Amino acid sequence: MRRRIFYILCVCVGIGASLTLGLGGEPTSAIHVLSVADVINPVTAEYITENLKAASRQGAQALIIQLDTPGGLDKSMRLIIKELLNSSLPVIVYVSPSGSRAASAGALITLAAHVAAMAPGTNIGAAHPVSVGGGEMGKEMSEKITNDAAAYSKSIAERRGRNVAWAEKAVRESVSASETEALQQEIIDLIATDLNDLLSQLDGRRVTTTAGERVLRTQGASVQPIDLSTRQQLLSLLADPNVAYMLLMLGALGIFFEISTPGAVLPGVIGGISLLLGLYAMQLLPVNYAGLGLIVLALILFIAEVKVPSYGALTIGGIIAMLLGSLMLFEAPPPLPGLSLWAALPATLLVAGFFIFLVGAVVKTFSQRPYSGREGLLQRTGVAYSPIDRKQGKVFVAGELWDAQSEEPVAKGDAVEVTGIQGLTLLVKKKER
């Protein structure tokens, strides 16, 4: 009996030890995986930084960023790098799948990772800064921006123990490297064919974070993909200059239509929502206020066209101002997408046609003489119901019988025209047939 009890206790202890130690290993926590296949913009920065903090709070073992980007905004890039450099959670940037790139801002983000990896058939580099709007910078300003970016790139490479000379050349000379060249030049730490291969190679690697040294236990660890939230998906859509521009135009048309025809309601609701979304989207995009001013000027010119006889000059000026303002509205440096000409041109012609037609119709309506009330009787024609002289007579006008006076004699049955009104008496004159 004692042997049986001892045997059962040994089995229980063995099972407990196996569950606790995982057959000689430590239990592994989940690895969170983000996918970035877009330009680096405020939405991308929020997606990475918020999920990095969330992964740390949830006790994740590491965060992997699968990266494929042509670059993006300097401000957003620096926000991401700041979080990576100060992260207590190991962050692995993996340029994948094959055919992807980590160019410009993406190259510096890769350098800032605790572990940098690339898939076969990928490239990294070309981090020379580009002026907002893609135009030429002055020599002094260009040197100032380039020197700042080069120093920033070098400091990141030094912090992560990577090739400092290459990091500087990537900024100053826009050099790029394939995955094999990057590994040979100590720009990255490893090459992995896919995510499973990456996890296999990471297993047992020691990584130094702000919280100290960490040993990665990635073999058999659960992988948890993290997608963009609904809010971030909406912001990502609004961050497209073409979408933001269309919302602004739709909002302006809807509000104007509601003001010009009170009580329509639906155009005002749609216009208000569109305008607010468009203004919110402008916070996510680099806006040129000179372009915005040209668009406002164009609207003023369209309205003035129906009041000033310019023989089309104001309309032509408005179309030119709106088209130029539309193309200048978003200062998107490459590789950020700018406003398409095929979106700006139809929108400009549509807005011009809308204002000219609508405002013209409103002005034409107000310029017409009234058809009802006392004013509506002026210049109306009728028939003398009785003889009229300086004394009162009767006329039949607008289907009604009125008292009337005339400066000249009017015979019964003659056609008359109303020239004025005194109280309830019409002043008429004989109308030649």
Last residue of a domain, one of 338, 367, 396: 367
Whether residues 265 and 411 fall in one domain: no
Whether residues 256 and 122 fall in one domain: no
Strand partners, 393: 404
CATH of the domain at 95: 3.90.226.10
C-alpha–C-alpha distance, residues 338 and 328, integer Å: 9
DSSP string, 188-247: SSEE-SSHHHHHHHHTT-EEEETTEEEE---TT--EEEEPPPHHHHHHHHHTSHHHHHHH
The pLDDT of residue 20: 41
Q: Judge whether 15 lies within some domain.
A: no
C-alpha–C-alpha distance, residues 34 and 226, integer Å: 5
Whether residues 168 and 248 fall in one domain: no
Q: Judge whether 132 lies within some domain.
A: yes
Long-range CB contacts (within 8 A, 24+) of 386-390: 386/412, 387/411, 387/412, 388/416, 388/428
Cα 358 to chain centroid, rounded: 29
Whether residues 360 and 329 fall in one domain: yes
Last residue of a domain, one of 172, 200, 228: 228
Q: Which residues of 235-273 are buried (b: 16+ CB within 10 A; e: fewer)?
A: bbebbbbbbbbbbbbbbbbbbbbbeeeeeeeebbebbee
Whether residues 390 and 314 fall in one domain: no
Quickly count: other Cβ atoms within 10 Å of residue 230's Cβ. 8
Instruction: Give me the amino acid identity at 364.
Output: K
The pLDDT of residue 11: 46
CATH of the domain at 381: 2.40.50.140
Cα 332 to chain centroid, rounded: 12
Can you give the pLDDT of all 433 residues of the chain as single tens digits? 555 544 555 545 454 444 343 333 344 589 999 999 988 988 999 999 999 999 999 999 999 999 999 988 888 999 999 999 999 999 999 999 999 999 999 999 999 999 999 999 999 998 887 654 444 556 777 788 899 999 999 999 999 999 999 999 999 999 999 999 999 999 999 999 999 999 999 999 999 999 999 999 998 899 999 999 988 888 888 878 888 888 888 887 787 777 766 677 787 888 888 888 888 777 767 778 888 888 888 878 877 776 676 666 777 888 888 888 888 887 666 556 667 777 777 877 777 777 667 666 656 665 555 555 566 677 788 888 888 876 778 888 877 888 888 878 888 888 888 888 877 788 888 887 6
Q: Judge whether 381 lies within some domain.
A: yes
Q: Could you tell me which of 360, 249, 256 has the C-alpha nearest to residue 315?
A: 360
pTM above 0.85, yes or no: no
Q: Judge whether 2 lies within some domain.
A: no
Q: Judge whether 235 lies within some domain.
A: no
Q: Is the dihedral of CA 65, 68, 69, 70 positive or negative?
A: positive
The pLDDT of residue 111: 96
Rg of the chain taking only CA atoms, in angstroms? 38
Whether residues 181 and 245 fall in one domain: no
Q: Judge whether 3 lies within some domain.
A: no
Q: Judge whether 16 lies within some domain.
A: no
User: Based on the structure, what is the number of domains in the chain?
Assistant: 3
Q: Which domain holds residue 170?
A: 26-228
The helix/strand/coil state of 112 is: coil
Q: Judge whether 5 lies within some domain.
A: no
Last residue of a domain, one of 344, 367, 390: 367
Q: Could you tell me which of 48, 28, 27, 22 has the C-alpha nearest to residue 37?
A: 48
Quickly count: other Cβ atoms within 10 Å of residue 121's Cβ. 14
Whether residues 363 and 382 fall in one domain: no
Whether residues 317 and 353 fall in one domain: yes
The pLDDT of residue 135: 47
Whether residues 210 and 247 fall in one domain: no
* Angle of helix 313-328 versus helix 289-305 axis, rounded to 10: 160
Q: What share of the chain is helix, strand, coil (3-state, %, to 5)?
A: 50, 20, 35
The helix/strand/coil state of 421 is: strand
Whether residues 250 and 288 fall in one domain: yes
Whether residues 272 and 386 fall in one domain: no
Whether residues 223 and 296 fall in one domain: no
C-alpha–C-alpha distance, residues 12 and 6, integer Å: 10
